[in-house]
Amino acid sequence: MDVSQEQVSMTRYPNLLQHLNKRKATDMPVLHQQTFRLDIDKTSRALYVVGTVLKANLNRSAPPSSKYFSVQCSPRVQYRITPPPPESGTLPTTLNGNTMLLITMDTASEVENDCKLSVMYYGEKTEVLGKAVVHLTAVEISLDVDADRDGQVERNNPNKGSWMWGPNGHGAILLVNCDSEHTYGKRRDSESAEVTRVSDLKDMSPMVLRTSGPAKLPAGYKLTMHISQGDAESVRVFRTRSTAGMHQTLKNLFYKSFVKDYPLVLGSEDLSKEVPYLGGNAEMKFYVEGLRFPDKDFEGLISISLSLLEPSSQGFPETPIFTDRVVFRVAPWIMTPNTLNPVEVFICSTSDNYQFLKGMKRLVENNGYKLKVCHEYMNRGDRWMQDEIEFGYIDSPHQHFPVVLDSPRDGQLQDFPYDVLLGPDFGYVTRTAYNEEVSSLDSFGNLEVSPPVIVNGTIYPLGRIIIGVAFPTATKGRNMTKVVQDFLWAQKVQEPIALFSDWLLVGHVDEFMTFVPAPDKKGFRLLLASPDAGYKLFRGLQKDGHGQAKMFDGLGEKEEITVDEILSDDKLRAENNYVQSCIDWNRDVLKRELGLDDDDIIDLPILFHVMENRAVAYYPDMVNMIVLGKNLGIPKPFGPKVDGRCALEAEMTSLMEGLGLSCTYIDDFASYHKLLGEVHCGSNVRREPFSFKWWNLEM
């Protein structure tokens, strides 16, 4: 039995529900039916949209005492009577209370009113009581998008009006137009009132209105495109003014000054606007622009409708007689883990970091990557390139580009992302904390992302975002601002994990963890700072007779301290016990939320000590490294030397060598470590996007 036809009153038959174990069945295609009125004793005109059904209640328009009727029509018109009469042909048929006439046509008209349908009504003795005549014009109308995500706008995709995740899913994709076609005097393109360069059209989703029919619509009919008020803050629509949208040459795309050819159709000021009907077989091209990223109050879905309006009597609004609808989802902002290939490395040049700069330059350029230095006039002494920004990207079948997320931290580097990074095919997004205190936990050294993982059978092909906050049990503590957290969670495709980082003075997750690529297991290892591993190494040194070896050798007598002295410092040991318990807590969360085994984790020998009741690295924090493919740039730890070689470097190198990774130790002692940061804090890496497409996620 067809469920949709089933007689059902669930209040009376509640157990019916038990027979239907899934509420949502698959969408069945249903021809759009339109109630249609016949007028007696006058000729009316109607516009018909191919693919719909006009449904007229014959009894409603019948003259009083009508008993029979007959239907005649042009060859291109098909009709059907329901309930089907026992008789056949054009002979008079018995009329009853619910006799319906269903009218369809297969093809568009080439001229207006080229088809005709008439209904004759007869009385008891088959005398004619009245006649209804309709002149019909058929048009084809389809608002089309790239609902199958292949980069092409296909014709009338049956799924274009909904959105589904996954490789078998469907639904078009929209980018937030957050880059700037201009390098000077720039702002984000979505903030410009108009299309300032034709190259900007690449950042918008193509949408095509395909129509077929006579040279013009019958008098009074018109096409209107419209969006809801709710969607208007998230989307704008432009169109080609040119009527030859389909013949537009590639050349146009690469030369500017065609701005006036792309008028705004829909936006917050215009929720509904007439669009021209071009006549014949025509395509009109539209460009759809996303204005905002998914967020707490915006799931990311928007829809655009195209209606055919029928004129009404004077003074009354036109009635939409056909509506076609397409749905887009705004592409999320996606972060890139250490396992993705680097493209560019960013660092700051300051008055005191020449050595560091030189070491980084060698590491980056020797491995074939681009180094971008932010100079002092721009960084104003703020060297924490990791903390002001996070690189990510947005992706669609037609376009993708990097997008920088600007932290509400807003140190002296605050103008860098907008003034330097924003540009053609380089987007910018930020979140402003209006009613919240911004803390050190808002720096993006506290925002990382894991490589792809599978957790209890749930796949995260784009990894999971990792942030650091206070313990949820803490009655007070620092947190990442809610505006940024809401933004990160709303992107959905890299479901975030909140770690506990408030135990650190600076409070960033990159002070105790990172990921490096690996040839085996899950394709990566999680590296964790481990005071226990540190003490184990120092105890081993002592046992092997190196108790008098010095940490910080060569950095000045004030800094130096022997292995024996470190091991005999009970306060330091107690502080490190506390640090280890904090890291262990995070280790358990990471194992659970990333589906890791202990074998996926490597403990690095790093000691901390406590300042102002919170922890900082005791010597350069080797986990705070930069990962460039198989090459690691690691803070030089200045550990105790055995046979002239730093025991900490030796241990680190040995742990990484097993994974085929090569370690370069960079001296950041004076210019970063002493300022409570290291190599990772002082750099940033823009990476290649995932080859995996976010819309193929199963959600």
Could you give the residue numbers annotated as active site?
Answer: 387, 508, 510, 681
What is the distance between the alpha carbons of residues 691 and 130, in angstroms, rounded to a whole number?
Answer: 68
What's the min distance (Å) between Cβ of 336 and a second copy? Answer: 10
Geometric angle at alpha carbon 44, from 43 and 47, rounded to 5°: 145
What's the min distance (Å) between Cβ of 518 and a second copy? Answer: 8
278 class by beta-carbon count within 10 Å (0-12 exposed, 13-18 middle, 19+ buried) = buried
What is the distance between the alpha carbons of residues 7 and 377, in angstroms, rounded to a whole number?
Answer: 76
What's the min distance (Å) between Cβ of 671 and a second copy? Answer: 30
Q: Which is nearer to a second copy, 17 or 215 (CB)?
A: 17
What is the distance between the alpha carbons of residues 514 and 450, in angstroms, rounded to a whole number?
Answer: 9
What's the min distance (Å) between Cβ of 320 and a second copy? Answer: 5
The residue type at 123: G
Task: Report residue 171 as tokens.
Answer: 């639904």
Distances (CA, A) of 651 to 526, 581, 607: 17, 23, 14
578 class by beta-carbon count within 10 Å (0-12 exposed, 13-18 middle, 19+ buried) = middle
DSSP one-letter code for 309 = E
Q: What phi-psi label fits residue 58: left (phi over 0), alpha (psi between -120 and 50 degrees) or beta?
A: alpha
What's the min distance (Å) between Cβ of 309 and a second copy? Answer: 6
What is the distance between the alpha carbons of residues 470 and 545, in angstroms, rounded to a whole number?
Answer: 42
Length of the chain: 699
What's the min distance (Å) between Cβ of 63 and a second copy? Answer: 7
Q: What phi-psi label fits residue 563: left (phi over 0), alpha (psi between -120 and 50 degrees) or beta?
A: alpha
Q: Which is nearer to a second copy, 4 or 249 (CB)?
A: 4
Task: Report residue 239 as tokens.
Answer: 């169109």
Q: Which is nearer to a second copy, 89 or 457 (CB)?
A: 457
Geometric angle at alpha carbon 477, from 473 and 482, rounded to 5°: 95
Q: Which is nearer to a second copy, 584 or 657 (CB)?
A: 584
- The half-sphere exposure of 297 on its side-chain side, counting CA atoms within 13 A, is 5
**Cβ distance 499 to 466 under 8 Å?**
yes
**How, if at all, do strands 626-628 and 453-455 pair?**
unpaired
Q: Which is nearer to a second copy, 243 or 319 (CB)?
A: 319
What's the min distance (Å) between Cβ of 102 and a second copy? Answer: 11
What is the distance between the alpha carbons of residues 601 and 591, in angstroms, rounded to a whole number?
Answer: 9
Q: In what order do the strands lie in the sheet with 513-517?
A: 513-517, 524-530, 601-605
The residue type at 697: L
The residue type at 102: L
**What sign has the CA pseudo-torsion 376, 380, 383, 387?**
negative
Q: Which is nearer to a second copy, 486 or 560 (CB)?
A: 486
What's the min distance (Å) between Cβ of 686 and a second copy? Answer: 16
What residues contact 135, with CB distance under 8 A and at least 6 apart? Answer: 43, 44, 45, 46, 113, 115, 116
What's the min distance (Å) between Cβ of 253 and a second copy? Answer: 31
Distances (CA, A) of 519 to 492, 516, 623, 631, 680: 29, 10, 20, 14, 23
Q: Which is nearer to a second copy, 351 or 473 (CB)?
A: 473
For residue 251, how far is the Cα from the chain centroid? Answer: 30
What's the min distance (Å) between Cβ of 591 and a second copy? Answer: 7
What residues contact 173, with CB distance under 8 A and at least 6 apart? Answer: 146, 149, 205, 328, 329, 330, 331, 396, 397, 695
Q: Which is nearer to a second copy, 201 or 209 (CB)?
A: 209
What's the min distance (Å) between Cβ of 167 and a second copy? Answer: 7
Q: Which is nearer to a second copy, 502 or 510 (CB)?
A: 502
What's the min distance (Å) between Cβ of 256 and a second copy? Answer: 32
Q: Looking at the DSSP assignment, which residues form a beta bridge with residue 78?
A: 104
What is the distance between the alpha carbons of residues 209 and 278, in angstroms, rounded to a whole number?
Answer: 10
Q: Which is nearer to a second copy, 35 or 152 (CB)?
A: 35
Q: Which is nearer to a second copy, 63 or 397 (CB)?
A: 63
**Cβ distance 646 to 639 under 8 Å?**
yes
**Does a cis peptide bond (omega within 30 degrees of 0) precede residue 83?**
yes
Q: Which is nearer to a second copy, 408 or 682 (CB)?
A: 408
Q: Which is nearer to a second copy, 72 or 323 (CB)?
A: 323
The residue type at 376: E
What's the min distance (Å) between Cβ of 554 and a second copy? Answer: 27
- Please report which residue ranges of 510-569 form alpha helices under DSSP H: 531-543, 563-567
Q: Residues 682, 688, 692, 698: what is their CA dihedral angle, to the nearest 10 degrees?
A: 30
**Residue 601: helix, strand or coil by DSSP?**
strand
**How, if at all, do strands 389-395 and 334-335 pair?**
antiparallel
- The half-sphere exposure of 611 on its side-chain side, counting CA atoms within 13 A, is 11
